[in-house]
Copies of this chain bind each other. A is one copy, B any other.
């Protein structure tokens, strides 16, 4: 294992050190910018060494907490280890780590949830202060000192530009052949910003490397550790039914000429339902698909290989352990078909609207009037975060939210009288799909949306209760949005009290 073969710059070779030494550069109160997006491309060694330091400080009764900005979610060696030692005072922009989630929900960590396409402008606005340290995973360093990102681009270039000190992790588990797959283009820091010249998902507009002021690099750590690589979650019957309804809808839209012959770029979240959609697309009639999305998951890789999909543009990978192994072993097959961009570009409203994406995202719950909750459990606890769903939902040509009609073995209905948190207001949602059917909500008023969502999407166990709620709203004299406020959140209250939204 000759990791330092990945570091071709002699000056930087001299800065190679242990994770423990590298972690010494980080102080209590520091704002730390970290690489990583959807469990890919995050640093694997320095955060653990830092967590150890933090633990020792805490044991001595000393304060030690840092503020962390990432691309999106990282993995157990980053958010997990830092949460374990209660080492993070402030966290943005997205998290899926269960230990960090617990810190966020018990108040130990202040969490700022935001659109992933707006993390960079938010940082540049200056509202959060200056970045002290960046910890960035790379796949290699070129001889000229330029840096090759690993499996996620995220906000890496901005963190490299902004941090006073830079720590690099060069991970030899990442294929060296990632070199050439990135497309780094920086949004102007001054206004008006430059036009983003992307006209198709395959357009390359920048350079394939990142840059850093080498004087700022204080440490380089060599690692050989896999990304988080969540196991593939195979589609179950419900997921397949959801995908089936969605495919029918897309076929019908194409037949009506609303989706052009050459189709439109796809954006898809991750997980069981998204996997079923990818499976259905790969077996379906649509050809020459493209993706303009955040993450490349197993199903897209399969379609790129089979030729169903010609190109996928994203900011990171989110692959299963099996698929990542296959990808790393066969990367040459994919090199010309994948482009990894900064998340500000992968999720930019300018490009999403220009391309006319089809956005397909998961919802936690949806109310009968078509508002979507993507973030909160029972109105109070943070699940993960809004992620890029808002960037795509607001700006896509077709915006679809998907969810099984039930959760918690039937105790929770995904279709509720009023969502306990709104992340996507009704005007941003074109269609909702559950295993029972698809509700095409375009152009409909709240009352019409309610009828469709209850009769087409809700689980039959909950339909009579939803109809009853809707009738109470109408009887109450509200004919535009017939809410009955007294009971609007009663299902959530009941669940918290009894463990089920169903009355005893």
Residue ranges of A at the interface with B (Cβ–Cβ < 8 Å): 92, 104-107, 110-115, 118, 121-122, 125-128, 190-195, 197, 199-200, 256-258, 260, 264, 348-350, 353-356, 371, 376, 378-382, 386, 390, 394-395, 397, 420-425, 427, 430, 440, 442-445, 447-448, 473, 476, 478-483, 485-486, 488-489, 492-493, 496
A197-B195, A353-B350 in contact; A397/B121 too (CB < 8 A)?
yes
How far, in Å, is A31 (CB) from chain B's closest CB?
11
* 7 shortest interchain CB distances as A-B pairs: A380-B478, A107-B479, A422-B422, A191-B356, A127-B442, A349-B349, A350-B350
A107-B447, A128-B443, A381-B480 in contact; A113/B485 too (CB < 8 A)?
no
How far, in Å, is A175 (CB) from chain B's closest CB?
31
How far, in Å, is A216 (CB) from chain B's closest CB?
22
| Contact residues in B for A395 (Cβ distance below 8 Å) | 349
Complex Cα spacing A498 to B107, Å: 37
Q: Which residue of B lies closest to A292 (CB)?
A: B192
> Could you write out 14 A-B pairs with CB less than 8 Å apart?
A105-B480, A107-B479, A115-B427, A118-B427, A122-B442, A127-B440, A193-B353, A193-B354, A349-B353, A379-B483, A382-B480, A382-B481, A423-B425, A485-B492
Complex Cα spacing A13 to B493, Å: 67
Q: Which residue of B lies closest to A259 (CB)?
A: B191
Of B264, B348, B473, the contact of A191 (CB 8 Å cutoff): B264
Q: Which residue of B lies closest to A495 (CB)?
A: B485
| Contact residues in B for A193 (Cβ distance below 8 Å) | 353-354, 356
Of B92, B115, B256, the contact of A443 (CB 8 Å cutoff): B92
Check if A485 sits within 8 Å of B496, measured CB to CB: yes
Majority SS of interface residues in chain A?
A: loop
Of B354, B376, B423, B486, the contact of A192 (CB 8 Å cutoff): B354
Of B106, B354, B483, the contact of A350 (CB 8 Å cutoff): B354
Q: Which residue of B lies closest to A423 (CB)?
A: B425
Known interface pairs A118-B427, A424-B425; 20 further A-B residue pairs with C-beta atoms within 8 A, sorted by A's residue number: A104-B480, A105-B479, A107-B447, A122-B443, A125-B442, A127-B258, A127-B440, A191-B355, A192-B355, A193-B353, A349-B349, A349-B350, A350-B350, A350-B353, A380-B483, A380-B485, A381-B480, A422-B422, A425-B425, A485-B496
| Contact residues in B for A348 (Cβ distance below 8 Å) | 353
Q: Which residue of B lies closest to A352 (CB)?
A: B349
Complex Cα spacing A193 to B192, Å: 21
Of B112, B125, B481, the contact of A444 (CB 8 Å cutoff): B112
| Contact residues in B for A492 (Cβ distance below 8 Å) | 485
| Contact residues in B for A493 (Cβ distance below 8 Å) | 485-486
Check if B485 sits within 8 Å of A489, measured CB to CB: yes
Q: Which residue of B lies closest to A125 (CB)?
A: B258
Complex Cα spacing A93 to B350, Å: 23
Complex Cα spacing A371 to B112, Å: 14
Complex Cα spacing A121 to B355, Å: 13
Check if B481 sits within 8 Å of A421, measured CB to CB: yes
A191-B260, A356-B192, A427-B386 in contact; A380/B114 too (CB < 8 A)?
no
| Contact residues in B for A354 (Cβ distance below 8 Å) | 191-195, 350
How far, in Å, is A106 (CB) from chain B's closest CB?
5
Check if B110 sits within 8 Å of A445, measured CB to CB: yes
Complex Cα spacing A353 to B351, Å: 11
| Contact residues in B for A105 (Cβ distance below 8 Å) | 478-480
Check if A420 sits within 8 Å of B485, measured CB to CB: yes
Q: Which residue of B lies closest to A488 (CB)?
A: B489
Check if A191 sits within 8 Å of B427, measured CB to CB: no
Complex Cα spacing A386 to B427, Å: 9
